[in-house]
Structure 1
């Protein structure tokens, strides 16, 4: 089980689990797909063909330069090839084209202010047109919050080390639960981070099935180590929105929803706003646990799951007590209202006792420590 935790809640519930946060998470940017690379490094809203072509060419050149195989394999390298490349090479290449001066083949005459015989130069075809791209790339490379993605460790970590880390296969600890704390990941790269991890897990299942079937053509169990991906606050990854910043995570998670069961990879999505979750994913879910919902639109989504004769159950949802839920799906013979017992060890998500706290005396806050923690991110 791999839990995507964006509010630092689940380490308390699974104290023995493998735990990864933004300080220990290492994801190699070079393992991003071509579409993910463009979404992360380019201003996709600008639809600038110059920056897209320059970026693509530089990535491929860098991959070929670092590749140690034969020439035939080198010639097959493309933007989606999961091979290392140096993002600083891409920056230097873009900077060079953005400031390029080209020799015209002519020279200055003696009457010109320039020295006689000095070659005439003119601006290159991309001179000044890549400034926004260069600035964007520089800002990302220098943003220390993105060290887990663009730092030195992300350049040197291997494919195998990355998979072992996110699957929880550490040498000294065997635990079936991995909590990935994404609370320290900047929101603007949250989609890409979740997309990459999700896609790697899906492709792991796909290739693991191929290996098992190759070893035994009669194999009936595609994956003897099935994986459950848990997306807390799922509307932040797979919303109904068509904005480009959600495109990568939606594609990865929708693919798992539609095809993952074939490869032993399944989903659990938790959200307070089911109406904001991608309908593609919603339609693939087999079981639903619906707790108190007061929004009529959200209630309407749940109502669609029930036969007309049981539609009155929805009317009870706004009055559900804590822990009460409507259970619908293949797991039960009939839709039922159930009481869910409290966890033995609960997540760190208990409601704050506002009334008690507001009756207490004035508290002095350590603003300077809050500032230091804020700036450390």
Structure 2
């Protein structure tokens, strides 16, 4: 009697590709086995090929005419139904291993994979196995991924707009924050860079949310102190390009300012201090010290008495006013000491410091030093606020960050994260004892192939070296073809949702660990919230229906309902409020006067 899981027999074998002649008794559709429903002979379904004491496992990549072997001469055989199967692994004794040690023979039986088979592959509910969804071909079967490999070997979530990418990420992060038995992972540590402000409300119950423009009582203001960023990139952002003498003069001033506050700071060796040592210094005082020599003139030939009309003020960024130099040898005499010819650059620096949209970085609250370089809070307070709170997720909402500084800011945030985890790797707070997963939403905006890209450079460093020091990366993008190839190639796990662009599909196909071109061909027709998961964290390439987060815990990324919005009567509209929301760069802005009333 034929087993209910019987699909057909092996007709030909070519490497890892197996052609299977489908049995006449098997009809494509749904089969009920053991009270559970399974989709039969469909692309993405699993098959099992018994080999004595162990079984081979594969994935159906083609069905029908395209799967018929070209070598068949008999017309009657060409009329039969065929499937193409890609072998992916085997069970030896009791454990599943990727790759195969032997090939099937002609006429070997091919069977449908049941839940019992999958439990043998995934090992049931083990520590480190995270349930993220249901098998698309048999929705009663949970899909589990390996948390250790997901974090340490890096991952990418790819999908076109509207494919359910944001909801998938929210569901995935919530699943990660729960262990296999449902207990809360109290020591989980995830940093999410939220470019569009979609995840703050969705993950509020499990996340500490930092936002540039806070509007909720349970949110915290986002501050990224400039003195913790790369100094060369900071100077370029403030002043633009400088010539070599000017760079040297500016860096000497910064190093002297850091040296002035270094005494007694734990871990700082004044003899080994560099401009990138994360010590606070005052940008206002730096500007004042640089601008004074640019305008200074002397009232005497000995240059002992400045020809000063009005003293400047570093705190308010008011430049000093000197008498203009006289013609030829006449007094006042022009200054020739400390003169770097950077008036234009210092004017740009002043405008940056006065621009309120950069306050989160250039005026970072309690982390802003006074003119002597002393802040109320220092680097340990910043690291504790991001990584030491009692929630497993930290959401950095960057939706209010100007695009001109976004790449540099993300590069700075990643640099702070990586350096802290790297240098503290042996400590209880470091990366090896409490690994850090960095989730980067809308990655194509800042991980492109630009020549000067600090964010890309830092992510390249993380994906190449982060595994050793407990820093993992998760790249999220709707345009994988625009992401730097080095970064994408280092992502050991891919979760591909619906992708319609051929260039993006090609990126996924090139990154496949197994020759499963047929699976990639299904990317344009995946349902919303459905993904093909392949790589290190998934023992088998699998088509998965991701679990939906509960209502009220989903990202603010749903499409507006145009029909409903355009059909309802127009209410009172307040464009003063609209303009105020734009000016404040806060979509939730409300008039404080009306609130008091």
- Any gaps of 5 or more consecutive residues in structure 2? 1-189, 214-220, 304-325, 369-374, 586-597
Tell me, yes or no, if structure 1 residue 20 matches structure 2 residue 210.
yes
Is the CA contact 2:427–2:433 (under 8 Å) kept in the aligned structure 1?
no
Q: How far does residue 159 in structure 1 lie from its aligned partner after superposition?
A: 0.8
Tell me, yes or no, if structure 1 residue 61 matches structure 2 residue 61.
no
Counterpart in the other structure of 2:366? 153
Distance 1:307 1:177 in 2: 30
> CA 1:120/1:177 → structure 2, altered by over 3 Å: closer, same or farther?
closer
Q: How far does residue 69 in structure 1 lie from its aligned partner after superposition?
A: 4.8
Counterpart in the other structure of 1:38? 235
Tell me the SS of whatever aligns to 1:230. strand
Distance 2:417 2:460 in 1: 13
Q: Deviations over 1:234-269 (max 9, x none)?
A: 112211222x3xx22112221111111111110111
Tell me the SS of whatever aligns to 1:304. helix
Distance 1:104 1:250 in 2: 54
Distance 2:441 2:302 in 1: 64
More helix by share: 1
Is the CA contact 2:233–2:408 (under 8 Å) kept in the aligned structure 1?
yes
Q: Deviations over 1:122-160 (max 9, x none)?
A: 353886931221111111111112222122523222111
Q: 1:258 aligns with which of 464, 467, 471?
A: 464
Tell me the SS of whatever aligns to 1:136. helix
Counterpart in the other structure of 1:5? 194
Q: How far does residue 356 in structure 1 lie from its aligned partner after superposition?
A: 2.7
Q: How far does residue 21 in structure 1 lie from its aligned partner after superposition?
A: 0.7
Tell me, yes or no, if structure 1 residue 354 matches structure 2 residue 562.
yes
Is the CA contact 2:421–2:469 (under 8 Å) kept in the aligned structure 1?
yes
Is the CA contact 2:446–2:456 (under 8 Å) kept in the aligned structure 1?
yes
Q: How does 1:275-290 map to 2 (within 5 A)?
A: 275-290=481-496
> CA 1:79/1:104 → structure 2, altered by over 3 Å: closer, same or farther?
farther
Is the CA contact 1:240–1:277 (under 8 Å) kept in the aligned structure 2?
yes
TM-score (norm 2): 0.55
Distance 1:127 1:153 in 2: 33
Counterpart in the other structure of 2:418? 202
Tell me the SS of whatever aligns to 1:289. strand
- Any gaps of 5 or more consecutive residues in structure 1? 108-113, 213-220
> CA 1:191/1:307 → structure 2, altered by over 3 Å: closer, same or farther?
closer
Structure number with bigger Rg: 2
Is the CA contact 2:287–2:346 (under 8 Å) kept in the aligned structure 1?
yes
Q: 1:99 aligns with which of 283, 295, 311?
A: 295
Tell me, yes or no, if structure 1 residue 48 matches structure 2 residue 243.
yes
Q: 1:90 aligns with which of 286, 289, 293?
A: 286
Distance 2:398 2:302 in 1: 58
TM-score (norm 1): 0.84
User: 79-88 or 58-67, which moves further after superposition?
Assistant: 58-67
> CA 1:313/1:27 → structure 2, altered by over 3 Å: closer, same or farther?
same
> CA 1:307/1:204 → structure 2, altered by over 3 Å: closer, same or farther?
closer
Distance 1:322 1:129 in 2: 58
Is the CA contact 1:228–1:268 (under 8 Å) kept in the aligned structure 2?
yes
> CA 1:103/1:53 → structure 2, altered by over 3 Å: closer, same or farther?
farther
Is the CA contact 2:530–2:544 (under 8 Å) kept in the aligned structure 1?
yes
Distance 1:362 1:222 in 2: 54
Q: How far does residue 195 in structure 1 lie from its aligned partner after superposition?
A: 1.8
Is the CA contact 1:100–1:127 (under 8 Å) kept in the aligned structure 2?
no
Q: How far does residue 207 in structure 1 lie from its aligned partner after superposition?
A: 2.4
Distance 1:121 1:77 in 2: 37
Distance 1:120 1:134 in 2: 23
Q: How far does residue 90 in structure 1 lie from its aligned partner after superposition?
A: 1.5
Distance 2:222 2:513 in 1: 45
> CA 1:119/1:357 → structure 2, altered by over 3 Å: closer, same or farther?
closer
> CA 1:341/1:120 → structure 2, altered by over 3 Å: closer, same or farther?
closer
Tell me, yes or no, if structure 1 residue 162 matches structure 2 residue 370.
no
Tell me, yes or no, if structure 1 residue 240 matches structure 2 residue 430.
no
> CA 1:279/1:368 → structure 2, altered by over 3 Å: closer, same or farther?
same
Counterpart in the other structure of 2:582? 374
Q: How far does residue 73 in structure 1 lie from its aligned partner after superposition?
A: 4.8
Q: How far does residue 120 in structure 1 lie from its aligned partner after superposition?
A: 5.8
More strand by share: 2
Distance 1:93 1:77 in 2: 21
Tell me the SS of whatever aligns to 1:209. coil
Q: Deviations over 1:86-144 (max 9, x none)?
A: 1012111221232133689489xxxxxx8xx9756135388693122111111111111
Distance 2:473 2:212 in 1: 23
Is the CA contact 2:297–2:332 (under 8 Å) kept in the aligned structure 1?
no
Is the CA contact 1:62–1:89 (under 8 Å) kept in the aligned structure 2?
no
Tell me the SS of whatever aligns to 1:8. coil
User: 25-34 or 358-367, which moves further after superposition?
Assistant: 358-367
Distance 1:375 1:206 in 2: 40
Distance 1:294 1:64 in 2: 55
Is the CA contact 1:97–1:126 (under 8 Å) kept in the aligned structure 2?
yes
